[in-house]
C-alpha cells in the first residue's frame, strides 16, 4: 500500500537534489537551466529504467550523489553541519545499498578535490577525516556485513557469461554499433522500425556533442571536479562493457552518473543558447531551434519507450498478489510455489511470509549463492503439499483449481499429476518472445529445470531457429537433449523448426540439457550482437503423453 507514495517521495527527493546541485553550480559561475536539469534527470535517459527494473535500492540513494556533490561546494554550510550532513547521507547510502555506495559517496570527495589542490589542503583534509570518522561511528556495527555484501557482489561481476543478476537487461550496451544510442538509454534491440533506430543513434551523438560543450564550459570556469566525476563514471562503465561484458553492471554505473550527464547537457544547451550576440541573431536563432529540436526529440523518444513499458508491464497493482494470499490462507495446508519470474517470486515470498509455503527454487537476488543460506534459515515446510502456485506465463500441466490475471494454482491428485518448468540457466540469457520463454544457444549448453509430482511422460513443444553466427550450413546443425545426464533426443534444426520433445520425468526436479551440436565456423552477427548465436529455442507448451 505504501509502495506508490514511497516511490513518489523518492522521485521528488531526486528532483529536489538535482535542483539544489544545479543552483550551486550556477552560483559557481557555470550557468545552466535548473528546470532543464531536473527534466532531463527525472524523465529522460536512465532514471526511468530504475522503475522498470524495480531497483528500489538504487532509487533510494540516487538523490544522495548530487546532494553530496552540492554540499561539498556549498559555502553556506558551516560549523558542525559540514561534518554531520555529508556523514549522515553517506552512512544512509551504506545502509541502503552497500555494493553501490562507493560512487555515491565519492561525489562528496571528488567535489572537494578542487579546494584540496588550491592550497587549502589542510582544512580539506581535516574536513574529510572528520566526515570519515562520523561515518564510521554511524555504521560501526553494520560495517562487517556491508563489507561482506560488497565483496560478494563484486565476485558476481567476474564471470564473463551467465550466472549474473540482470544479464541481458540492457544488451545494446554490449553492441558497439548501437553504443551511441545505448549510452543515453535509447533502446534499440527490440525495435524493428529503422527510422526509430536511426533517430536514437543520431540523437545520442548530438546529445553527446551538447554534453561536450557543457564539459568544455565547466573546464573554462575551472570546475574540474565535474570533469573528474564524469571521468570516474566513464571509466567504470568502460570496465563493465569492455572487461566484464556485463550490461547490467554498466547500466548501474550509467544510472548513478546520470545526474551529472543531465547537468552537463543542461550547461551545454545553455552555452549554445546564449553564445551569439545580437548582431548574429540569425545564427543564434537557428542554433536555438536546433537545440530545442534535439531536446524535444530526445524527450519524445524516451517518453515513447516509457509508454511502451507501461502498456507491457503486468505488475501495476498489488491486488492479484493479495488474492493469491487470501486463497492460500483459506486452504489451511502446505502449498508449493514454482515462480520463475524473479519479480513475482520476490513479491510472493513477502506476501506469503506467514503461510506454510514450500518453494521449489528462489530466483533473482534470492537465488544467489551467498543469499541462499539466509533463505534456508526461514521457517518453511520441507516439502510441497497437493497444491502448487505458478505464474500464469509459466509452462505447466495439471488440474487448475484457481487463477487470476497473474497466477494459477494447480492441484495434484491421482490421474492428474503436475509438471512445471522452473529455473532456466542459459549463458546467453533468457528472453520473452511473443509471450513465450526464449533463449539462444552458443557453444555452451543451457539447462531447463522441470519439476514433477509423479513419474510421468510429457511432451515439451518447442520452436527452434538457426542462429546468425552459423558460418557453414553444410555442416549439420543440431541440438542434443539430455535429461539427468542421459541423451533422450536429437533435434535437426536444418530441416525442421517445430519439435515435440518426449521427456520421461521422475518425481522431483529433472534437469533437461539443450546442447548444441555444430562443428562448423562462427561468423559475426550482422546486427553487431557480440554473443555466439547458433540456435534459438522457444518453449511453447507442455502436454501430457497420452
Residue range 177-190, pLDDT digits in tens: 888 999 998 876 54
Q: Which of 259-273, 280-294, 295-309 has the highest mean pLDDT?
A: 259-273
Are both 92 and 132 inside the same structural domain?
yes
Residue 218 · residue 226 · CB < 8 Å = yes
**Which comes out higher in pLDDT, residue 64 or 103?**
64
**Per-residue pLDDT at 159 exceeds 60:** no
Q: Within 13 A of 503's CA, how many CA atoms are on the CB side?
A: 36
Would you list the DSSP string of 451-510? EESSSEEEEEEEEEEE-TTB--TTS--EEEEEETTEEEEEEETTT-SEEEEEEEE-SEEE
Are both 377 and 318 inside the same structural domain?
yes
- Rounded to an integer, what distance in angstroms lies between the CA atom of residue 323 and that of residue 328? 9
Q: What pLDDT score was predicted for residue 110?
A: 92
The domain that contains 466 carries what CATH number?
2.60.120
**Per-residue pLDDT at 394 exceeds 70:** yes
- Rounded to an integer, what distance in angstroms lies between the CA atom of residue 298 and that of residue 259? 16
Q: What pLDDT score was predicted for residue 192?
A: 43
Are both 305 and 329 inside the same structural domain?
no
Residue that terminates a domain, selected from 395, 416, 437: 416
**Per-residue pLDDT at 329 exceeds 90:** yes
Are both 225 and 365 inside the same structural domain?
no
How many structural domains are present in the chain? 3
Are both 407 and 448 inside the same structural domain?
no
Q: Which range is least confidently modeled, 65-74, 363-372, 410-419, 479-488?
A: 363-372
CA 271 vs. chain centroid, Å, equals 34
Helix (H) or strand (E) segment spanning residue 338: strand 335-338
The dihedral sign for the CA sequence 133, 134, 137, 143: negative
Are both 301 and 354 inside the same structural domain?
no
Q: What pLDDT score was predicted for residue 396?
A: 87
Q: Tell me how far CA of residue 206 lies from CA of 16, 298, 489, in angstroms.
A: 27, 10, 53
Average pLDDT over the chain, rounded to whole? 84
Q: Which residues have CB under 8 Å from 228's CB, separation 6+?
A: 110, 113
Residue that terminates a domain, selected from 416, 446, 464: 416
Are both 330 and 289 inside the same structural domain?
no
Q: What pLDDT score was predicted for residue 17?
A: 94
Are both 488 and 465 inside the same structural domain?
yes
**Per-residue pLDDT at 321 exceeds 80:** yes
**Per-residue pLDDT at 210 exceeds 90:** yes
**Res. 453 pLDDT band, cuts 50 70 90:** confident
Residue 390 · residue 420 · CB < 8 Å = yes
Average pLDDT score over residue span 176-203: 75
Average pLDDT score over residue span 500-520: 90
**Per-residue pLDDT at 90 exceeds 90:** yes
**Per-residue pLDDT at 215 exceeds 60:** yes
Q: What pLDDT score was predicted for residue 258?
A: 94
Are both 373 and 430 inside the same structural domain?
no
- The whole domain housing 295 covers 3-157+166-312
**Res. 195 pLDDT band, cuts 50 70 90:** low
Q: What pLDDT score was predicted for residue 276?
A: 66
Using one digit for the tens of pLDDT, what is the confidence trace for 408-417? Answer: 999 887 667 8
Q: Three-state SS for 209?
A: helix
Q: What pLDDT score was predicted for residue 221?
A: 87
Q: Which three cell numbers stand for residue 546?
A: 497420452
**Per-residue pLDDT at 167 exceeds 80:** no
**Per-residue pLDDT at 229 exceeds 90:** yes
**Res. 445 pLDDT band, cuts 50 70 90:** very high
**Per-residue pLDDT at 1 exceeds 50:** no
Are both 320 and 292 inside the same structural domain?
no
Q: What pLDDT score was predicted for residue 279?
A: 52
- Rounded to an integer, what distance in angstroms lies between the CA atom of residue 396 and that of residue 410? 9
Q: Tell me how far CA of residue 415 lies from CA of 17, 334, 453, in angstroms.
A: 61, 21, 11
**Res. 25 pLDDT band, cuts 50 70 90:** very high
Average pLDDT score over residue span 29-56: 83
Least Cα distance to 154 among 240, 251, 28 occurs for 240
Q: What pLDDT score was predicted for residue 277?
A: 61
Are both 482 and 444 inside the same structural domain?
yes
Are both 303 and 319 inside the same structural domain?
no
Residue that terminates a domain, selected from 364, 384, 416: 416
Q: Which three cell numbers stand for residue 363?
A: 530466483
Using one digit for the tens of pLDDT, what is the confidence trace for 231-255? Answer: 999 999 999 998 888 888 899 999 9
Q: What pLDDT score was predicted for residue 424?
A: 87
Q: Which three cell numbers stand for residue 401?
A: 483449481
Amino acid at each position: 500500500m505504501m509502495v506508490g507514495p514511497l516511490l513518489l517521495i523518492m522521485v521528488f527527493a531526486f528532483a529536489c537534489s538535482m535542483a539544489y546541485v544545479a543552483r550551486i553550480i550556477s552560483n559557481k559561475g557555470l550557468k545552466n537551466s535548473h528546470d532543464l536539469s531536473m527534466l532531463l534527470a527525472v524523465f529522460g535517459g536512465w532514471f526511468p529504467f530504475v522503475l522498470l527494473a524495480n531497483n528500489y535500492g538504487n532509487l533510494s540513494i540516487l538523490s544522495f550523489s548530487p546532494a553530496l556533490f552540492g554540499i561539498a561546494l556549498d559555502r553556506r554550510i558551516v560549523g558542525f553541519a559540514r561534518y554531520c550532513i555529508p556523514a549522515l547521507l553517506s552512512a544512509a547510502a551504506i545502509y541502503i545499498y552497500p555494493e553501490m555506495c562507493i560512487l555515491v559517496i565519492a561525489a562528496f570527495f571528488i567535489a572537494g578535490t578542487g579546494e584540496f589542490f588550491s592550497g587549502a589542503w589542510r582544512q580539506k583534509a581535516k574536513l574529510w577525516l572528520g566526515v570519515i570518522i562520523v561515518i564510521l561511528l554511524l555504521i560501526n556495527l553494520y560495517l562487517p556485513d556491508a563489507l561482506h555484501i560488497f565483496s560478494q557482489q563484486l565476485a558476481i561481476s567476474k564471470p564473463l557469461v551467465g550466472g549474473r543478476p540482470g544479464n541481458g537487461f540492457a544488451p545494446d550496451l554490449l553492441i558497439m554499433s548501437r553504443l551511441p544510442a545505448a549510452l543515453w538509454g535509447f533502446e534499440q534491440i527490440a525495435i524493428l522500425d529503422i527510422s526509430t533506430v536511426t533517430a536514437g543513434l543520431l540523437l545520442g551523438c548530438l546529445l553527446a556533442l551538447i554534453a561536450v560543450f557543457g564539459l568544455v564550459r565547466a573546464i573554462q570556469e575551472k570546475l574540474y571536479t565535474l570533469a573528474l566525476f564524469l571521468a570516474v563514471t566513464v571509466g567504470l562503465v568502460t570496465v563493465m562493457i569492455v572487461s566484464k561484458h556485463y550490461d547490467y553492471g554498466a547500466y548501474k554505473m550509467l544510472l548513478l552518473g546520470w545526474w551529472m550527464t543531465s547537468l552537463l547537457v543542461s550547461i551545454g544547451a545553455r552555452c549554445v543558447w546564449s553564445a551569439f550576440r545580437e548582431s548574429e541573431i540569425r545564427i543564434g536563432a537557428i542554433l536555438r531551434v536546433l537545440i530545442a529540436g534535439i531536446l524535444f526529440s530526445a524527450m519524445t523518444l524516451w517518453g515513447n519507450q516509457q509508454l511502451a513499458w507501461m502498456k507491457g508491464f503486468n505488475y501495476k497493482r498489488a491486488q492479484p498478489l493479495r488474492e493469491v494470499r487470501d486463497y492460500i490462507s483459506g486452504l489451511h495446508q502446505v502449498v508449493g510455489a514454482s515462480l520463475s519470474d524473479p519479480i513475482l517470486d520476490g513479491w510472493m515470498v513477502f506476501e506469503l511470509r506467514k503461510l506454510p509455503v514450500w518453494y521449489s527454487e528462489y530466483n533473482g537476488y534470492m537465488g544467489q549463492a551467498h543469499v541462499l543460506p539466509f533463505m534456508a534459515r526461514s521457517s518453511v515446510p520441507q516439502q510441497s503439499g497437493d497444491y502448487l502456485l505458478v505464474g500464469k506465463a509459466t509452462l505447466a500441466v495439471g488440474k487448475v483449481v484457481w487463477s487470476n490475471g497473474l497466477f494459477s494454482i494447480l492441484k495434484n491428485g491421482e490421474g492428474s499429476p503436475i509438471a512445471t518448468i522452473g529455473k532456466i540457466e542459459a549463458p546467453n540469457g533468457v528472453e520473452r518472445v511473443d509471450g513465450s520463454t526464449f533463449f539462444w544457444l552458443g557453444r555452451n549448453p543451457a539447462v531447463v529445470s522441470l519439476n514433477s509430482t509423479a513419474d510421468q511422460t510429457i511432451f515439451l513443444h518447442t520452436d527452434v531457429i538457426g542462429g546468425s553466427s552459423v558460418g557453414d550450413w553444410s555442416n549439420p546443425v543440431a541440438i542434443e537433449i539430455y535429461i539427468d545426464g542421459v541423451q533422450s533426443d536429437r533435434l535437426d534444426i536444418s530441416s525442421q523448426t517445430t519439435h515435440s520433445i518426449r521427456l520421461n520425468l521422475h518425481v522431483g526436479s529433472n534437469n533437461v540439457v539443450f546442447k548444441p551440436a555444430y562443428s562448423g565456423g562462427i561468423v559475426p552477427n550482422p546486427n553487431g550482437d557480440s554473443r555466439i548465436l547458433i540456435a534459438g529455442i522457444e518453449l511453447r507448451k507442455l502436454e501430457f503423453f497420452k
